Amino acid sequence: MVQALQKNARWKGRRGPLVLVIMDGVGYGAYAEGDAVRAARMAHLDAIASASACTRLKAHGTAVGLPSDDDMGNSEVGHNAMGCGRVFAQGAKLVSASLKTGALFAGDTWKKLVANVVPSAANPGRFRGSLPTLHFIGLFSDGNVHSHIDHLKAMVQRAAEEGVPRVRVHILLDGRDVGETSALEYVRPFEEFLAGIRGRGCDARIASGGGRMYLTMDRYGADWRIVERGWHTHVLGDGRAFPSAEAAIETYRKEIPGIIDQDLREFVVTDSENQPIGAIHDGDSVVYCNFRGDRALEITEAFESPEGGFDKFDRIRLPKVEYAGMMEYDGDLHIPRRYLVSPPAIDRTLGEYLAATGIHTLAISETQKYGHVTYFFNGNRLGKFSETLETYVEIHSDVVPFEQRPWMKCAEITDAVIDAIAGGTYDFIRLNFPNGDMVGHTGVFNAVVCGMEGMDLQLGRLRKAVDAAGGVMILTADHGNSDDMYEHDKKTGTVLLKPDGTPRAKTSHSLNPVPGIVYDPDYRGDYDKALNSGLGIGSLAATCIGLLGYVPPADYDPALMNFSHE
């Protein structure tokens, strides 16, 4: 339990609320071509920036706890950083370190998974006409946002070394954190890797898969049909049959021109008798090898909920397996029950301090980012710090492709925030506009421009409400995306083209800095308006505390401006 924050005797804050606006996926692009933010008519954002103190903030790599500055930021670690005020080592870094030291393989969870499928005198195996199997399910790329293929390879290799007789891999094709049609760049070398594993006596093969946005990786309960398709594909072996993953990818690309990896349909690899080679059965072990939690919770619930205790879809059958996640995806509810690597222990978050200090808070977004302004912002913690002081509002997202509704629910979010500002109940309001990220991931440039302009209209509305209430508004982002919509040559910066001469779309996050804009219409020289440079988005927590009239914790990253409180 944290102590209440100390009041700043020299700075009392404003009469109106502090509004933190997270423009998800909106950064400062390095190239004019492909920068949808720059291409959009952002008159309100420009006007706010011209009347504000501004800086650029780091939102990737080591600034948000990732292994290196070559690693893209993402919404999970970005909201963690903004909400906890300090840099914690995050999933990718923790898993890599655990594999390097061997701690993952020395842990009880790994030992139990392996012992369950390795025949021995005590456990001779449960033969169904085939060998007991260790299954891996997860995002199949080196994007390092939800997973990394090197982690998967290390576990498959170790399983073979420890005598696991059969391994099956269920791959979720990316095209989102990596190139939009790069799947075969991962599948072909991995098939060669598996051939080497088979040469050492372990029958290791790709068993099923499909695009990450089509099956398995739903989040926040937005569309459980995605998880249901994954269950049928991975667990039941029920889906369109192919002789290999490569054949499936090539077939779908021919049948559905222009389809990108994240949307590829399901495939089940079958044998010469057209039987699935990797359905999951009683007695098997299963690892969900994503380290990021938001798109892991639903498939985990499907595996861990007992018979009669799951109502999201008909599982047909529930195999009795040893199941584990790469990490603990929810530290409060302890989901999953078993995991391979412990997540960062994030404590003393901004939300906890504000609740202890008696600050009334509103957190709001639509479904796609609701968990980010609540769960991730609070340090991977479900629930509230105070039922009386905190209000969480979810605006339900439309279940349609984002390029078809690029404005998403930004107007509805703004409606609610304007009412909250006028009502005078809340001291601190945080909101997330998902447009720049969710539409950015589609790779449809014009849709992203439309999404940006729709969001910009809402920024203008928010400015008027903040002006009327005498509040302060901070505009920022958790990472870049919509600012970098084309693939560029890394040496020359030239836009890379498809065979038809059109730009190659980029669907992943960018490494670009994000806004740090402090709009304070009642500023009268009562703090240093010259913003500090070289900071990361973790500095936003101390900034919010300072603008509310309190002294930030001493070990928080420094605020964007210098407040005198001595």
Which residues, other chains included, contact 526 with Cβ-Cβ below 8 Å and sequence gap of 6+?
A: 11
Q: What's residue 332's pLDDT?
A: 57
pLDDT computed for residue 123 by the predictor:
54
Which residues make Cβ contacts (< 8 Å) with residue 554, sequence separation at least 6? none
DSSP letters, 288-334, are E----STTTHHHHHHHHSPTTS--SS--S-----EEEEEE-SBTTTT
Contact 210, 298 (CB under 8 A): no
Give CA separation, 505 vs 90, 314, 496, in Å. 28, 37, 9
190 located within any domain? no
Question: Do residues 213 and 274 both lie within one domain?
Answer: yes
Rounded Cα distance, 144 and 72, in Å = 8
Nearest to 115 by CA among 103, 124, 127: 124
For residues 345-379, one letter each, b for 16 or more C-beta atoms within 10 angstroms of the residue's C-beta and e for the rest, the string is ebebbbbbbbbbbebbbbbbbbbbbbbbbbbbbbb
Establish if 556 belongs to a structural domain: no
Determine, yes or no, domain membership for 365: yes
Q: Which of 299, 273, 262 is nearest to 136 (CA)?
A: 299
Question: Same domain, yes or no, for 261 and 170?
Answer: yes
Q: What are phi and psi of 412, to 5 degrees?
A: -65, -40
| CATH classification of the domain holding 228 | 3.40.1450.10
Residue 80's domain comprises 6-86+345-551
Counted domains in the chain = 2
Backbone angles phi, psi at 338, to 5 degrees: -125, 140
b/e burial code for range 76-105 (CB count within 10 A of at least 16 → b): bbbbbbbbbbbbbebbbbbbbebbeeeebb
pTM of the model: 0.76
Tell me which residue of 200, 169, 203 sits closest to 186, measured CA to CA. Answer: 169
Q: Check residue 524 and give its pLDDT.
A: 87
336 and 361 both lie in a single domain: no
SS3 of residue 448 by DSSP: helix
- In the prediction, which pLDDT does 128 show? 46
Question: Does residue 140 share a domain with residue 44?
Answer: no
Same domain, 149 and 20: no
Q: How far is CA 492 from its chain centroid?
A: 30
Please check whether residues 396 and 507 belong to one and the same domain.
yes
In a domain, residue 138? The reply is: yes
Residue 70: which CATH number?
Answer: 3.40.720.10
Quick check: is 146 in a domain? yes
288, 350: one domain: no
Tell me how far apart the alpha carbons of residues 255 and 267 are, in angstroms, rounded to a whole number. Answer: 14
Give the pLDDT score at 127.
Answer: 45
50, 171: one domain: no
339-341 sheet: strands from edge to edge? 241-242, 267-269, 203-211, 166-173, 134-140, 285-288, 322-327, 339-341
How would you write the pLDDT of the chain (566 residues) with one tens digit per residue? 899 999 998 888 899 999 999 999 999 999 999 999 999 999 999 999 999 999 999 999 899 988 788 888 889 889 999 999 999 988 888 999 999 999 999 999 999 999 999 987 555 544 445 679 999 999 999 998 899 999 999 999 999 999 999 999 999 999 988 999 999 999 999 999 999 999 999 999 999 999 999 999 998 788 999 999 999 999 999 999 999 999 999 999 999 999 999 999 999 999 999 999 999 999 999 999 999 888 999 999 999 999 999 999 999 999 999 999 999 887 656 789 999 998 778 899 999 999 999 999 999 999 999 999 999 999 988 899 999 999 999 999 999 999 999 999 999 999 999 999 999 999 999 999 999 999 999 999 999 999 999 999 999 999 999 999 999 999 999 999 999 999 998 889 999 998 899 999 998 889 999 999 999 999 988 888 889 999 999 999 999 999 999 999 999 999 999 887 55
Q: What is the per-residue pLDDT for 349? A: 97
In a domain, 557, yes or no: no
Residue 402 C-beta-side C-alpha neighbours within 13 Å: 29
Distance (Å) of CA 365 to CA 79, 140, 409, 526: 13, 29, 8, 32
Phi, psi for 151 (deg, rounded to 5): -65, -45
Asked which of 341, 360, 389 is the last residue of a domain, the reply is 341
Residue 75 falls in the annotated catalytic set: yes
Last-in-domain residue among 313, 341, 369: 341
Q: Judge whether 566 lies within some domain.
A: no
Q: Compute the Cα dihedral for 20, 22, 330, 554 and give only its sign.
A: negative
Same domain, 330 and 454: no
Q: Which residues pair with 48 in a beta bridge?
A: none
Tell me which of 286, 306, 341 is where a domain ends: 341
State whether 361 and 460 are in the same domain: yes
Q: Which residues are registered as beta bridge partners of 204? A: 167
Residues 262, 402 within the same domain: no
Q: In this structure, which amino acid lies at residue 414? A: T
Residue 177, helix vs strand vs coil: coil
DSSP string, 68-120: STTSPP-HHHHHHHHHHSS----HHHHHHHHHHHTHHHHSHHHHHHHHTTS--
Based on the domain organization, do 316 and 422 belong to the same domain? Answer: no
User: Which of the following is catalytic: 52, 75, 208, 365?
Assistant: 75
Q: Is residue 137 part of a domain?
A: yes
Give the per-residue pLDDT at 331.
63
